[in-house]
């Protein structure tokens, strides 16, 4: 396979980018990072990976709507995966500092319709799956949650108003608005940044 000789890494987000992404102060960013498994002590301002930034943004949206972290944690893999795939569909989010034949061949697979490009994106991005995931999640309560897995799906009409709707497209647009420049770096395998 062409992509067997190349690998992608996700961008690290600065603490300032995380604050802007989640629109929160430092202390709140520390708490959100802790929810995502990163023990950040007061006064520390580390960079965290893009996937963690997405998780933090999802938790922040859940907190704003009054949902416990345990409720949001169930939807992190689905929404994070879908957000990464949607970000991966935009060629402007990719950079290859050492262009190679493998990359030149691979990048042609990123053009076209979503159904054809997503499997290639999902295989290259670390921690990403090509399995169908929820691209939009609607929360009525902790136990009453609906998802859409396909853009051709539509919500059932209940006449109820959800407390929260999280859309992977919205998450991706927020990330692109805050994080200027490429989000994914492609290198020959064995040359990923330390």
- Measured CA to CA, the distance from residue 98 to residue 92 in angstroms comes to 16
Residue 80 DSSP SS3: helix
110 contacts 120 by C-beta, under 8 angstroms = yes
- Measured CA to CA, the distance from residue 50 to residue 56 in angstroms comes to 10
pLDDT given for residue 40 in this prediction: 76
User: What percentage of the chain reaches a pLDDT higher than 70?
Assistant: 90
The mean pLDDT value of the chain amounts to 86
Q: Which of 166, 10, 7, 23 is nearest to 93 (CA)?
A: 10
pLDDT given for residue 1 in this prediction: 38
SS3 of 58-69: the string is HHHHHHHCCCCH
pLDDT in tens, 106-138: 888 787 788 888 888 888 898 888 877 778 899
State the average pLDDT over residues 2-21: 85
User: So where are the chain's domains?
Assistant: 2-188
State the average pLDDT over residues 98-106: 80
pLDDT given for residue 154 in this prediction: 65
């Amino acid at each position: 396979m062409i992509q067997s000789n190349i690998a992608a890494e996700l961008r690290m987000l600065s603490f300032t980018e995380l604050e802007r992404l989640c629109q929160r102060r430092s202390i709140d960013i520390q708490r959100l990072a802790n929810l995502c498994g990163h023990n950040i002590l007061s006064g520390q301002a580390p960079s965290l990976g893009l996937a963690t930034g997405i998780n933090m943004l999802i938790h922040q949206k859940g907190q704003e709507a009054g949902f416990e972290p345990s409720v949001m944690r169930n939807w992190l893999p689905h929404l994070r995966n879908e957000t990464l795939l949607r970000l991966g569909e935009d060629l402007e989010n990719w950079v290859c500092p050492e262009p190679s034949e493998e990359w030149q061949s691979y990048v042609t697979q990123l053009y076209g319709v979503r159904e054809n490009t997503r499997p290639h994106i999902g295989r290259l991005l670390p921690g990403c799956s090509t399995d169908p995931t929820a691209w939009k999640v609607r929360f009525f309560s902790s136990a009453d949650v609906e998802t859409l897995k396909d853009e051709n799906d539509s919500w059932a009409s209940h006449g109820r108003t959800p407390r929260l709707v999280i859309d992977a497209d919205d998450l991706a647009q927020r990330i692109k608005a805050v994080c200027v420049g490429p989000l994914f770096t492609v290198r020959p395998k064995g040359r990923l940044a330390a």
